[in-house]
């Protein structure tokens, strides 16, 4: 009896040592956002848009809690990406220097296909970039992310509400955002509206719509508070 107990005890220790600090969790079998004690980000298996979304949610949770995990940026990692890439998410976000997606979502090389324009707007060039990612790289998730205190949205808000005019090429960006401002009572509400408007614009693209209809692409909206937290707007 004592020998059996000792054997089981030793077996348990070896199992813990073998697993290391974090246990490996297959994200495709777990739709809940894991905690830091349960998973290493590099070990997550991403098969579809839901898995990719869970990966972003977990990465952001670690970022908010100041427990971000180190990402592999070694020469061997860079070498492995020289002839291929397999990003799990396209993120359309603002050019704002405070909105650094790789930090916000605790991601590394080859993880996110970044598209950044002031006010997280899209034009034909941006749509072409999205098409490339979702059609040729088979990226299963597209996130459109606005953020708190966005300068472009603020300029559009002041243009519509206060008659403040802008000049130069910035005017084109402001004009793209103005429809989101018209029915908004605050800059924050306008920023949220702008996310929805951009998603609707993206969904009109025939190549992207086809992948959404086939269930190969998931599109979600998001809003980044400058304290670090991302709110995902799943009801877009």
Express each pLDDT in 149-180 by its tens digit: 999 999 999 999 999 989 999 999 999 999 99
Give the bridge partners for 91, in sequence order.
114, 143
In this prediction, residues 7-33 reach a mean pLDDT of: 38
Task: Please report the pLDDT score of residue 160 as a whole number.
Answer: 95
Q: What are the residues whose beta carbons fall under 8 Å from the beta carbon of 149, sequence distance 6 or more?
A: 187, 226
> What is the rounded average pLDDT for all residues in the chain?
87
Containing 114, the helix (H) or strand (E) segment is: strand 112-116
Chain centre distance of CA 107: 9
How high is the pLDDT of residue 31? 44
Distance set, CA 179 to CA 83, 152, 191, 209 (Å): 42, 13, 11, 22
pLDDT above 90: percentage of residues in the chain: 80
């Amino acid at each position: 009896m004592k020998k059996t107990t000792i054997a089981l005890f030793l077996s348990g220790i070896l199992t813990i040592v073998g697993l290391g600090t974090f246990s490996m969790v297959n994200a495709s079998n777990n739709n809940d956002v894991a905690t830091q004690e349960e998973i290493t980000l590099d070990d997550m298996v991403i098969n579809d848009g839901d898995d990719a979304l869970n990966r972003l949610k977990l990465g952001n949770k670690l970022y908010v809690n100041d427990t971000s995990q180190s990402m592999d940026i070694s020469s061997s990692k860079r070498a492995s990406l020289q002839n291929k890439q397999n990003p799990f998410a396209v993120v359309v976000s603002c050019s704002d220097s405070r909105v650094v997606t790789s930090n916000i979502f605790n991601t590394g090389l080859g993880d996110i296909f970044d598209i950044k324009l002031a006010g997280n707007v899209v034009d034909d060039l941006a749509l072409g970039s999205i098409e490339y990612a979702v059609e040729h790289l088979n990226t299963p998730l597209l996130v459109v992310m606005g953020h708190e205190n966005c300068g472009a949205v603020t300029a559009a808000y002041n243009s519509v509400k206060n008659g403040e005019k802008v000049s130069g090429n910035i005017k084109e960006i402001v004009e793209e955002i103005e429809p989101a401002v018209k029915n908004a009572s605050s800059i924050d509400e306008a920023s949220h509206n702008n996310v929805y408007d951009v998603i609707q614009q993206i969904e009109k693209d025939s190549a992207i719509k086809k992948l959404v209809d086939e269930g190969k692409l998931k599109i979600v909206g998001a809003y980044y508070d400058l304290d670090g937290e991302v709110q995902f707007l799943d009801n877009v």
